[in-house]
Amino acid sequence: AILKDKHKILPCCVYLEGEYGIKGLCVGVPVKLGRRGVEEIIQIKLDPPEEEGLRRSTQAVKELVEKLGI
């Protein structure tokens, strides 16, 4: 996708700045990839159980980052 500038949508871990309600954390989400890397973060509609799972997961990562002092 990157070498051939395909603009494909693939899962990728990226730094979020408010997407999905998450700020300041790297999370695996769908992105459009091209020659310049991540061209767009794709926000898909999550149902309530998916939103809750994402929220719990990101909270656990934030707590771990704080404990490690990273």
pLDDT digits 0-9 by tens, 4-63: 888 999 999 999 999 999 999 999 999 999 999 999 999 999 999 999 999 999 999 999
CATH number for the domain whose boundaries are 8-68: 3.90.110.10
Residue whose entry in the numeric block shows the structure tokens 């707590």: 63
24 close to 11: Cβ distance less than 8 angstroms: no
Q: Residue 37: in which H helix or E strand, if any?
A: strand 37-41
**Cα–Cα distance, 48 to 51 (Å, whole number):** 5
Please compute, for residue 37, the number of CA atoms within 13 A of its CA located in the half-sphere on the CB side: 3
Show me where the domains of the chain are located.
Answer: 8-68
Q: Is the pLDDT of residue 69 over 90?
A: no
Q: Residue 32: count other Cβ atoms within 10 Å of its Cβ.
A: 16
